[in-house]
Structure 1
């Protein structure tokens, strides 16, 4: 699947860069073109792979390049005012070569959560290609204001895209990581997971899949709209040493059970957004690895298991041969999921945060008067 990527805000830009790095490293052409959109100049300067001409600073008349300070209402206002700047840049993308737009944004900050939904609306109005969102939820310990931003953005974003794939930062959290290191590792892992899915149908002919998964399969799976989650699991393979010391052939004796185990692992324990899998409307499974390890029986059994586990008969799937790969991996996309405890928790915290902020605002004048009251009334302001 060939994509036009638009990274919005700091997190969106960083994830987009991770996608570009993955595409370069794997010699994949899944990213046709990419833009970064931000209200903070410093965030754009911190990017490496997106060309300077593709980094768009918006809202300069309002925030002077300093960002919106986690105010996603301000972010949405700026998007409305400066949308033509972004749309002009999108018009320069080779849209005739792409299968879909993918908007990537962190939903906890102000720019990503406020700007991305508005841009999605404009893209869907102007282009026939599907517009998908990849939304990153803040961790539970990141604070109430970020949770409130995410809850409000989620409600808006999901209505403005053809499908919203959600990634919960807590699913990749590690207590051993620094803040920067943790986000970098998560971004790399996210790009690697989605790279397997999007690259599956983009073969150069060196290894032809038994069961092809192309862009139309992904588009049809995401066609139910709503919210999607994505699972991924991999396991290394051992190769027998070659006759002259090079890479030998892998042991294929466990190919079928390995595939089935990986698909189960990806579905039941490695989702980007944990959910009740029986609430999925559609599903897609891709198994990648050396051609010898891609047992047709294994892929078919995995697809049958996924049908039974989710309760939906609309399960697509196939294989993605990667010659000389050192692992077998399984990617599982569950589309149209609706039973998501994390979203309900997010909404509950957001409602409580909003109530608390309103109470503080309503009593602010009284508390300031109490603070300034001198008791005997003898102190007077200068003017």
Structure 2
């Protein structure tokens, strides 16, 4: 799939930047256009891999922001984006529409700019272009507080309404107690980039071996087209170097390819890896049986990509989600030292984390309203005398 990737806000910008970096490190061909949009000029300076001319500052003429951010206020983030819609529209004219299959808007959902402005950008893109617009939303961890939970719960609704499908990554599920805050974000951004690039980059010819069971953008679009919230499963295993050399030699000297025993071993390995991916940590934990559609990409050295294993994995996953809407393909990477399985679970409807997030958000909103209601009385009591004999100047 060929993408126009746009990071919105601080978290979204860093992740978009990491996706471009990871794409280059792995020799993939995915991003035909990349950009970041922010209300804080300082955050744009942290971007290193997206071209400077594609770093867009909005809200700099608004007295509430002046280029210093939205202050974790999604209403302000949304308003600043709408105000600068003409400037954004002119910038988007530089997107090579002839060379992309979809847009991907990335935003952190707990702050102000990404949570409020990202859905507005998605709305602008959907109004202007025919290409699908997908979202990648990052849920805050619980220790980021009630305000972040409230912002995220509201933003999930906005992103799902304005995009053709929202892929969710839950920071709370990936938090490691031993990480510093900075190291934690670096690690999770890498994990996000690895999954997004491996999944969405499948099927694009970049000089590598042509896939036997090709996965292309139409397959990804079909899977995500049902909308709602999606999660990504991933697992990988190292490839034994001696096995790779032996299989490579056999493939050159035998017209019939590997032996039956090799085929069985490779098929079992692929099938087991897909099962391990689905049964391990998802980008956002969800009940797999609530999935509407799924897509499987197995990536690695061509000698490891057993078609029988893919068939068995697809059949197993159909049983797990109770649907025949499962697509599966391979992604040959001759220079790779690992075999990986990436599974897109689309329109999952049983997501405990989002349910809990909504509960936290309702509590947070109730507390904010109660505090606001009593605050004016407390201020009045503070600044006036008991018998109300003093008048203000």
TM-score, shorter chain, exceeding 0.5: yes
**Alpha-carbon distance in structure 2 between the residues aligned to 1:145 and 1:295:** 48
**Alpha-carbon distance in structure 1 between the residues aligned to 2:249 and 2:173:** 36
Residue 373 of structure 1 deviates from its aligned partner by 4.0
Residue 372 of structure 1 deviates from its aligned partner by 2.8
SS of the aligned residue for 1:283 comes to strand
SS of the aligned residue for 2:42 comes to helix
Change (3 A) 1:258 1:348: same
Instruction: Note if contact 2:7-2:37 (Cα within 8 Å) is conserved in structure 1.
Output: yes
Instruction: Note if contact 2:291-2:348 (Cα within 8 Å) is conserved in structure 1.
Output: yes
**Alpha-carbon distance in structure 1 between the residues aligned to 2:56 and 2:208:** 38
**Alpha-carbon distance in structure 2 between the residues aligned to 1:358 and 1:160:** 28
Instruction: Note if contact 2:169-2:231 (Cα within 8 Å) is conserved in structure 1.
Output: yes
Number of equivalent positions:
379
SS of the aligned residue for 1:78 comes to helix
Aligned to 2:41: 41
Residue 194 of structure 1 deviates from its aligned partner by 1.3
SS of the aligned residue for 1:189 comes to helix
Aligned to 1:11: 11
Q: 1:257-296 deviations in whole A, cap 9, x for unaligned?
A: 2212221121122211111111111100000111111111
Aligned to 1:305: 316
Residue 369 of structure 1 deviates from its aligned partner by 2.2
From 75, 80, 84, give the equivalent of 1:82.
84
1:370 aligns with 2:367: no
Instruction: Note if contact 2:164-2:224 (Cα within 8 Å) is conserved in structure 1.
Output: yes
1:357 aligns with 2:368: yes
Unaligned stretches of 5+ residues in structure 1: none
Aligned to 2:56: 56
Q: How does 1:317-328 map to 2 (within 5 A)?
A: 317-328=328-339
Aligned to 2:219: 217
Instruction: Note if contact 2:208-2:332 (Cα within 8 Å) is conserved in structure 1.
Output: no
Q: 1:14-62 deviations in whole A, cap 9, x for unaligned?
A: 0000111011112222000111100001100111111221111101122
Change (3 A) 1:241 1:122: closer
**Alpha-carbon distance in structure 2 between the residues aligned to 1:91 and 1:180:** 35
1:67 aligns with 2:69: yes
**Alpha-carbon distance in structure 2 between the residues aligned to 1:50 and 1:324:** 26
Residue 84 of structure 1 deviates from its aligned partner by 1.7
Instruction: Note if contact 1:241-1:248 (Cα within 8 Å) is conserved in structure 2.
Output: no
SS of the aligned residue for 2:143 comes to coil
Change (3 A) 1:52 1:206: closer
SS of the aligned residue for 2:6 comes to strand
Instruction: Note if contact 2:234-2:277 (Cα within 8 Å) is conserved in structure 1.
Output: yes
Unaligned stretches of 5+ residues in structure 2: 252-260
SS of the aligned residue for 2:105 comes to strand
Change (3 A) 1:217 1:17: same
From 289, 298, 302, give the equivalent of 1:287.
298
Q: 1:195-214 deviations in whole A, cap 9, x for unaligned?
A: 11122101235412121101
1:168 aligns with 2:170: yes
Aligned to 1:255: 266
Aligned to 1:138: 140
Deviates more, 1:369-378 or 1:51-60: 369-378
Instruction: Note if contact 2:244-2:303 (Cα within 8 Å) is conserved in structure 1.
Output: no
1:269 aligns with 2:293: no
Instruction: Note if contact 2:29-2:205 (Cα within 8 Å) is conserved in structure 1.
Output: no
Residue 248 of structure 1 deviates from its aligned partner by 8.5
Aligned to 1:28: 28
Q: 1:123-179 deviations in whole A, cap 9, x for unaligned?
A: 111101000000000011110000000011111110000011111112221111111
